[in-house]
Amino acid sequence: MTDAIATGSSPPADAAPRRSRSLYAQAIRELLTYWSARLGLAWIFLVVTAGVFSPFIASSHPIVWNYKGHWESPMLHNITQVDVVLVVLYFAVIVLALLRHVSLLVRLAIYVGILFMVIQLAYLLVRPPMNIDYSRYWQAEHAGDAQSVVRTIIPYSPSDRMLYATEFTQNLRPSRQFLLGTTENGEDVLSRMLHACRIASAIGFISTGISLVIGVIVGAFMGYFAGWLDLIGMRLIEMFEAIPTLILLITLVAIYGRSLYMIMIIIGLTGWTGKARFVRAEFLRLRNQDFVYAAQALGLPLWSVLFRHMLPNGLTPLLISVSFGVASAILSESTLSFLGLGPVDSPSWGQMLDQARGVGTSFHWWMAVFPGVAIFMTVFAYNMVGEALRDALDPKLLKRE
């Protein structure tokens, strides 16, 4: 505009005003400038994608085959309700992320609605068989009853022990047929690695989600009301912080059995204290701001003041805590599984590390290296994203246009 005045010319009439980006839009753009964040997000995306689509990548069930003259899909026939829910939610996240003109709260509400609807439909319509017999596929092929069999990329399920050739498939080193080797029970390590991605992602996201909800609610009320409520809340936080999470997990698993859902809940119920502290500190700072007084003067309900006006202005330290919280939850589950107290019916990286110690003094290096690298890379990826996010949201380092 200054140049236009100096030269006596006027700006073009059709020149559109430049849209200003919000703080978090700038932070996301700044986050993607860090190579550490790019690499971390790429690895996280790879792990989540492998976990969601693992039944369609590594399965002993053929995709389609011609059995006694009839075409059928054993893989779709054996699909579970969890598989359907995860695939739908995976694509729902991608579609909602592309809706840039829709507010975050609206997208979150849509996602929660899709979640409940898909869960209900999946458990009403999907009926997987109770007993699974992997041997019937190779028996049908040997008998000549099956022709034109189309298999998945990795034709082995994580629990397929290949009993038809046990003596030839136990503790095999990595080879062309078994790229990452086999376990002492004849299970394919690569298939178990892919399916274990689902356990790691579920533990991280669900337990962190539980702790996030509790931490935000408790911290918001503590910071907004302060006084005696803040005093009681701080004593409650100190009590939960004194509980050793790993010891509590070991105790409850020994009493109630190895339940994946219980592990998620326990990690979530003991990991909210740090998030509550961050939210409390931000709300103590924001409670005397002018926009809060304006919202109160307009007679807005309490939940609107807390979660629609104050919370978006105090998310910066919370987002960083979430990234580190996911990594901590994955590490806790891996530790528990390594101790032999993790889920029994689902493969996990910690469980595979425990299986690396064979009978006696034997040690199977491929059973330790690949799961160990996966745990390290996943935890390291979340930590890199958390560090980059902290720098991107730092007002002193954030580059504004």
- DSSP assignment of 124-187 equals HH----SS--THHHHHHHHHT-EEEEE--SB---TT---GGGHHHHTTPPS-SSSTT-B-TTS-
Residues 117-134 have pLDDT tens digits of 999 998 888 888 878 888
Inform me whether the pLDDT recorded for 48 exceeds 90: yes
Confidence of residue 32 (pLDDT cuts 50, 70, 90): confident
Range in 239-248, 316-325, 392-401 with the lowest mean pLDDT = 392-401
Instruction: Give the residue-averaged pLDDT of 360-384.
Output: 88
Residues 72-93 have pLDDT tens digits of 888 888 898 989 999 999 999 8
Inform me whether the pLDDT recorded for 211 exceeds 70: yes
Instruction: Give the residue-averaged pLDDT of 170-189.
Output: 85
Q: What is the dihedral of CA 353, 355, 361, 364, to 10 degrees?
A: -70
- Whether the CB-CB separation of 387 and 36 falls below 8 Å is answered with yes
Secondary structure (3-state) at 12: coil
Helical (H) or strand (E) element with 72 = strand 70-72
Rounded to whole angstroms, the Cα distance separating 208 from 281 reads: 20
Inform me whether the pLDDT recorded for 8 exceeds 60: no
Share of the chain above pLDDT 90, in %: 21
Residues 135-163 have pLDDT tens digits of 888 888 887 788 788 889 998 888 887 65
- Whether the CB-CB separation of 189 and 202 falls below 8 Å is answered with no
> Which string of DSSP letters, residue by residue, matches 350-399?
HHHHHHTB-STT-B-HHHHHHHHHHHHHHHHHHHHHHHHHHHHT-TTTPP
Q: Which pLDDT value is given to residue 358?
A: 66
Rounded to whole angstroms, the Cα distance separating 57 from 75 reads: 11
Inform me whether the pLDDT recorded for 3 exceeds 60: no
Secondary structure (3-state) at 64: strand
Share of the chain above pLDDT 70, in %: 88
Predicted model pTM = 0.83
Handedness of CA 183, 184, 187, 192 (dihedral sign): negative
Q: Which pLDDT value is given to residue 17?
A: 44
Residues 156-179 have pLDDT tens digits of 888 887 655 545 677 788 888 888
Q: Which pLDDT value is given to residue 21?
A: 53
Q: Which residue shows structure tokens 């979430």?
A: 322
Q: Which pLDDT value is given to residue 127?
A: 85
Inform me whether the pLDDT recorded for 1 exceeds 60: no
* CB-neighbour burial class of residue 168 (10 A; exposed 0-12, middle 13-18, buried 19+): exposed
Listing from the earlier edge strand, what are the strands of the sheet with 70-72? 70-72, 64-67, 146-150
Inform me whether the pLDDT recorded for 4 exceeds 90: no
Helical (H) or strand (E) element with 65 = strand 64-67
Q: Which pLDDT value is given to residue 15?
A: 45
Residues 304-333 have pLDDT tens digits of 888 888 887 777 778 888 888 898 889 888
Helical (H) or strand (E) element with 67 = strand 64-67
Helix 227-241 vs helix 273-286: crossing angle, to nearest 10: 160
Give the mean pLDDT of the chain: 83
Q: Which pLDDT value is given to residue 19?
A: 43
Q: Which pLDDT value is given to residue 195?
A: 93
Q: Which pLDDT value is given to residue 376?
A: 93
Q: Which pLDDT value is given to residue 363?
A: 82
Q: Which pLDDT value is given to residue 187?
A: 87
Confidence of residue 397 (pLDDT cuts 50, 70, 90): low
Confidence of residue 23 (pLDDT cuts 50, 70, 90): low
Rounded to whole angstroms, the Cα distance separating 308 from 302 reads: 10
* N-terminal to C-terminal alpha carbon distance within the chain: 17
Instruction: Give the residue-averaged pLDDT of 21-43.
Output: 79
* CB-neighbour burial class of residue 232 (10 A; exposed 0-12, middle 13-18, buried 19+): exposed
